[in-house]
Amino acid sequence: MKNSVTMRDIAERLGVSSVTVSKALNDKEGVSEELRTKIKMLAEELGYRFNAAAKSMKEGVTYNVGVIIPERFTGLSQSFYLKIYQAISKKLEEHGYYGMLYILDTEDEEQLNLPRIYYEQKVDGIILLGQISKDYIEKIQSVDIPKIFLDFYDEHSDVDTVITDNFYGAYEITNYLIKNGHRKIAYVGNIYSTSSIQDRFLGYFKSLLEHRIKLNEKFIINDRDERGKYIDIELPDELPTAFVCNCDQVAHNLVTKLKKLGYSVPDDFSVVGFDNDIYATITDPPLTTVEVDIEEMAKTAVQFIIGKIKNKHRKFGRVQIKGRIIYRDSVKNIETR
Amino acid sequence: MKNSVTMRDIAERLGVSSVTVSKALNDKEGVSEELRTKIKMLAEELGYRFNAAAKSMKEGVTYNVGVIIPERFTGLSQSFYLKIYQAISKKLEEHGYYGMLYILDTEDEEQLNLPRIYYEQKVDGIILLGQISKDYIEKIQSVDIPKIFLDFYDEHSDVDTVITDNFYGAYEITNYLIKNGHRKIAYVGNIYSTSSIQDRFLGYFKSLLEHRIKLNEKFIINDRDERGKYIDIELPDELPTAFVCNCDQVAHNLVTKLKKLGYSVPDDFSVVGFDNDIYATITDPPLTTVEVDIEEMAKTAVQFIIGKIKNKHRKFGRVQIKGRIIYRDSVKNIETR
DNA sequence: CTGAAAGCGCTTACAG
DNA sequence: CTGAAAGCGCTTACAG
């Protein structure tokens, strides 16, 4: 790139100084409109491209924000992460920033290796996307760079965090089942596994409480072992009429199982999911579920990180972004039964 | 970041020059081992972080490579793109480079707006990932920056390209069907739609030719309209015993349809797909399919782009990366029939 | 409105 | 082995 056009080249051609060119191109005051136009036209003509590195060095900032995703979230069916990255980078661009997507591999996560984008000052701040190990959280906390947690949170830390409102989403969708006449409602998910599964459970529970429905312990159905691996879902002896699943994939598994047992959804059982990912539409019937508001999450995260880059002492706390229910065909109104 | 530690800080503390610090930290010769160790230790102690922007400016390069994906590929079930980005960025890192993922939105694609990472010299080269409009290809061709096309190609251009070997993959998987006794084999895909569907068709055709099986025109079954939208698959009057589908998603649709008609897979019909994406495992039975070698594609693309960054006149041509067949349960051996 | 000077943090080429 | 000087391309603060 040594051969590329600089402000100085433009300045020399026009017999002005590079200061003037800089002002003209950056729409700063102190240049006559006439000269500004001339400079801009010549820049265009010569194919001038701004040198971001020079500005970076001068200002001591990069205008890059790292978006870090642990490797294990890049597997099948996780297009959520690509979508949210897209939303983030679009928002960043509106503020004159760029996203650098960094996929943290499992080994580096275990060995607590910070990403090289940190060590080489490639970024002014970091958005951490997706649950990461406790130790890594601590490690990254020890480092003085603006950071945001997105889509997960850690109880022991006071990092500014943007998450989806799991509690409220599960609460709302359980309300919806109750409105459709269901009172025997099970929750499917290992409630000790992740904070989002737990919070969704609590939202479900609150809905029951509000409707004076007693929580039946046998209606809390496990879906995965302590290491997160899905296990075969065991149905209780006394069956509910509806299932609130902690995510669409588990709802999909459940529907498959119910069908194999000869049941029909939603005629015999209503089933709802969470996330509105591919499993929601691939299931037959398609699932009523809670959609995460990706746009809003990205927008908020970007707002926070830029706020912190500009003023490292700013605090935003933990913000929850509400999702919305997507109504499809997996719920039946049984009120008239 | 103005307050961060610089080489000069380290130099002053040690009473040496910053040149020496630079040499020591970069493992260049011209520093005694003793001094080098001292410098490295102090750097560590002070939490020195290298300033990539300064190096960039000095050398006129950024050590960033843009990976550009058109927006429409970030939808449901396309985790392929995140995976390949991951592989690319890992390979880049091995060479001291970084990936910048840039999602080109549909509007910018239509209006032929080049990404801002180009205009601001944020990257030294570009990997274009996923079929992009002809006009945009032309636009980006007009611009003098090292570039690689990945996972698609354009017949009229001579850009260096890395694609999966569609022809060979379809050829091999059709051979496999024939080895399992099938002779009436249909191909499912609109062969005028994309180059990969067409190439896969040709691989299928070659396999037929080699086995002296006549191509039956009725066995070429359309799956989408000219705008790429899936249409209902129409089965021919005389039915084949096996279907080669141009992708897993279409294979999934086909299996669903066959089941609705009361048929069983693979007992009544064998079905194979291509891509080995989520549809391959979500289908019941899971599909025998062709897996794309993401690692190898990424590695090759990175090798090419860095080669071109270092020497812009280097040419690599069009390289095809072979996939491999993943054997699952959607094919039945009917030889003994 | 216009521009000379200084500086951001590094590296290269050269001198000692 | 060590370092003074120059320069990468921009912007800021100031002078005219």
- Confidence class of residue A223 from pLDDT cuts 50, 70 and 90? very high
Asked if the domains B64-164+294-322 and B166-292 are classified in one and the same CATH topology, the answer is: yes
Q: Which CATH class is domain B64-164+294-322?
A: alpha beta
Task: Write down the CATH number for the domain with range B166-292.
Answer: 3.40.50.2300
CA distances from B90 to A105, A238, A260, B147 (A): 9, 51, 42, 18
Residue A76 has pLDDT above 70, yes or no: no
Enumerate residues 6+ apart whose C-beta is below 8 A from B234: B221, B222
User: Of all residues in chain B, what percent carry a pLDDT higher than 70?
Assistant: 97
**Through-space separation of residue B222 CA and nucleotide D8 C1' in angstroms:** 58
Residue B2 has pLDDT above 50, yes or no: no
Q: Distance between CA B326 and CA B310 in Å, rounded?
A: 38
Angle between helices A79-94 and A294-310 (to 10 degrees): 50
The sign of the torsion formed by the CA atoms of A143, A149, A153, A157 equals positive
**A299-323 pLDDT per residue, tens:** 999 999 999 999 888 999 999 999 9
Residue B205 has pLDDT above 80, yes or no: yes
Task: Write down the CATH number for the domain with range B7-50.
Answer: 1.10.260
pLDDT for res A227: 79
Q: Which run of H or of E encompasses B203?
A: helix B195-210
Mean pLDDT for A65-85 is 81
Residue A77 has pLDDT above 70, yes or no: no
SS3 (DSSP) at B333: coil
pLDDT for res A2: 41
Of the partner residues A49, A78, A102, the one whose CB lies closest to the CB of residue B79: A78
Residue A259 has pLDDT above 70, yes or no: yes
For the sheet containing B161-164, what is the strand order?
A: B98-104, B64-70, B125-129, B147-150, B161-164, B318-321
Residue A335 has pLDDT above 70, yes or no: yes
- Confidence class of residue A3 from pLDDT cuts 50, 70 and 90? low
Mean pLDDT for B166-182 is 97
Per the prediction, chain B carries an average pLDDT of: 92
Under an 8 A CB cutoff, do B79 and A83 touch? no
Locate A14 and state its tokens: 């026009």
pLDDT for res A312: 86
Residue B153 has pLDDT above 50, yes or no: yes
pLDDT for res B268: 97
Find out if CATH 3.40.50.300 is the number for domain A64-163+294-321: no
- Confidence class of residue B94 from pLDDT cuts 50, 70 and 90? very high
> Quick one: three-class SS letters along chain B?
CCCCCCHHHHHHHHCCCHHHHHHHHCCCCCCCHHHHHHHHHHHHHHCCCCCHHHHHHHHCCCCEEEEEEEHHHHCCCCHHHHHHHHHHHHHHHHCCCEEEEEEECHHHHHCCCCCHHHHCCCCCEEEEECCCCHHHHHHHHCCCCCEEEECCCCCCCCCCEEEECHHHHHHHHHHHHHHCCCCCEEEECCCCCCHHHHHHHHHHHHHHHHCCCCCCHHHEECCECCCCCECCCCCCCCCCCEEEECCHHHHHHHHHHHHHCCCCCCCCCEEECCECCHHHHHCCCCCEEEECCHHHHHHHHHHHHHHHHHCCCCCCCEEEECCEEECCCCCCCCCCC
Beta bridge mates, A47: none
Q: Which of residues 97-156 of A touch strand C (CB under 7 A)?
A: none
More confident call, B73 vs B109: B109
Candidates B64, B65, B82, partner chain A, best to mutate (most A CBs within 10 A): B82
Residue with tokens 């003509």: A45
- Confidence class of residue A149 from pLDDT cuts 50, 70 and 90? very high
Residue B250 has pLDDT above 50, yes or no: yes
Domain ranges across chain B: 7-50, 64-164+294-322, 166-292
pLDDT for res B80: 82
Of the partner residues B52, B120, B282, the one whose CB lies closest to the CB of residue A121: B52
- Confidence class of residue B1 from pLDDT cuts 50, 70 and 90? very low
How many CB atoms are closer than 10 A to CB B155? 5
CB proximity B59–strand C (7 Å threshold): yes
C-alpha atoms less than 13 angstroms from C-alpha of B144 in its C-beta half-sphere: 12
- Confidence class of residue A195 from pLDDT cuts 50, 70 and 90? confident
pLDDT for res A78: 63
pLDDT for res A71: 86
pLDDT for res B154: 82
Under an 8 A CB cutoff, do B56 and A60 touch? no
Q: Distance between CA B298 and CA B304 in Å, rounded?
A: 10
**B283-329 pLDDT per residue, tens:** 999 999 999 999 999 999 999 999 999 988 899 999 999 999 999 99
Q: Which of B67, B27, B65 is nearest to B43 (CA)?
A: B27
Per the prediction, chain A carries an average pLDDT of: 92
Cβ(A123)–Cβ(A98) under 8 Å?
Answer: no
Highest mean pLDDT among A22-36, A143-157, B154-168, B173-187: B173-187
User: Of all residues in chain A, what percent carry a pLDDT higher than 90?
Assistant: 76
Mean pLDDT for A224-229 is 84
Cβ(B128)–Cβ(B93) under 8 Å?
Answer: no
How many CB atoms are closer than 10 A to CB B192? 10
More confident call, A58 vs B176: B176
Candidates B49, B59, B74, B76, partner chain A, best to mutate (most A CBs within 10 A): B76
Q: Return the amino acid letter for B89.
A: S
CB proximity B27–strand D (7 Å threshold): no
pLDDT for res B196: 87
Q: Return the amino acid letter for A310.
A: K
- Confidence class of residue A229 from pLDDT cuts 50, 70 and 90? confident
Report the relative pairing of strands B220-221 and B185-188 from DSSP bridges: parallel
